[in-house]
Amino acid sequence: MEIRQVSAIHGWYWITQGFQMFRKAPMVWMLICFIPFLIAVTISLMMPMAGPVIFLLSAPIFLAGVMVACREQEQGRQIEVSHLFIGFKTHLAPLVTVGIIFLLGLVTIYSLFLSTGGGDLIAMLEDGKRYDSSEIGEISSGILSSFLMVIVLQIPLLMAVVFSPVLIILHNFSPLNAMKKSFLACIRNIIPFFVYNLILNMLSVIVLLLPYIGLVILSPVIFASIYVSYKEILLGEPVKMLEEAYPQVDYQKANWANTDDEQAKQEQEQEQESSSATAKTSAPAPEERPKRTPPAESSSEMPEGDIIHCYQCEILIPKEEAIRFDGKYFCSSEHFQEYQDSMTAKPRNEQNN
């Protein structure tokens, strides 16, 4: 799998394409993003200490399920909430391994944070006493350095994790190979990812103004944009949305007629045309066909206009839909064949008698 390097503008393209995927099925996308959040809150309330740990371990599993949902949507199939849990059925061990590595990385980073200026910040908050300006200045410089260190160390960890679930569940990568591939893919595309994160940070400011509406839209867009970037960087192809499950209707040019009736009528006409062609090819030559004079009452009962009797079953049918043969009309190819069989068998019976 070759890593493709894309231009900076693709960072914006990933977000717009992610929004297009969300727009195809917004309600399902909201459920897919809300359920992990609900699970995390529930576990944290039930087990305050172990809850966040369990959620971090399961985060790659949920992300893998979201990637499967994105693939299903791209191929024109309906996405379902059940896609979110598909990682628990397949590739559970490697996905949990990625979660363990991610958790260990976070623990290491925050241990370094606490051992530097972060410990002073916690001590200052716990003491609750007042500090003079000189002490606050010294502590603030250490705290700022610690925060910068956390950000710098978290970036490569996130780069190693972002594409790992999709590589594991869709391409059967091992955990370490998946994290290595993900890290290299992000390194080679560091500029578009910088643009991507810059735009997301700007959108996050809007989310703060509309906390509920913005969040339910931004979260699905972020997940879908990860799939779009994976397709471009690791597969070298854009997302091509098939329309089988999500047909687009031009309501200004829509035909509001009863399309089911029209389709049934077209199928009936095609069937009659094929039946007529079959009857013509299977009919004997005119000199070989036996002659039969229709009963007088049939001719007297023949209605005028475009409605006629079937010669075989006497049912009324439109003349243009009937099969015509030797001045007689038949409602179907089966009745026409029965007529031919009866006329062929009649001379044989006379010879036998």
The answer to whether 133 and 155 are in contact (CB under 8 A) is no
At residue 292 the predicted structure's pLDDT band, cuts being 50, 70 and 90, is very low
User: What are the distances in angstroms from CA 61 to CA 169, 222, 223, 248, 344?
Assistant: 9, 16, 13, 32, 74
- Specify if 38 maps to a domain: yes
- Specify if 179 maps to a domain: yes
The pTM of this model reads 0.63
Structure tokens at 8: 């900076």
Same domain for 330 and 196, yes or no, is no
- Specify if 248 maps to a domain: no
Domain count, the chain: 2
Same domain for 80 and 187, yes or no, is yes
- Specify if 255 maps to a domain: no
Summarize pLDDT for 184-230 with one digit per residue, the tens: 999 999 999 999 999 988 888 877 777 677 677 888 999 999 999 99
- Specify if 278 maps to a domain: no
Same domain for 215 and 318, yes or no, is no
Among 102-116, 231-245, 247-261, which range has the highest average pLDDT? Answer: 102-116
Least trusted range by pLDDT, from 84-88, 293-297, 341-345: 293-297
29: Cβ contacts below 8 Å, ≥ 6 apart: 21, 22, 79, 220, 224
- Specify if 96 maps to a domain: yes
Q: According to the model, what pLDDT value does residue 294 have?
A: 47
Q: Which of 179, 196, 173, 165 is nearest to 71 (CA)?
A: 165
What residues make up the domain containing 69?
A: 10-234
Instruction: Determine if residue 172 is left, alpha or beta; phi over 0 gives left, psi from -120 to 50 gives alpha, anything else beta.
Output: left
Same domain for 170 and 61, yes or no, is yes
Structure tokens at 275: 């039946």
Summarize pLDDT for 144-196 with one digit per residue, the tens: 777 788 888 889 999 999 999 999 999 989 999 999 999 999 999 999 999 99
Task: Note the maximum CA span of the chain.
Answer: 131
Portion of the chain with pLDDT greater than 70, in percent: 72
Same domain for 94 and 203, yes or no, is yes
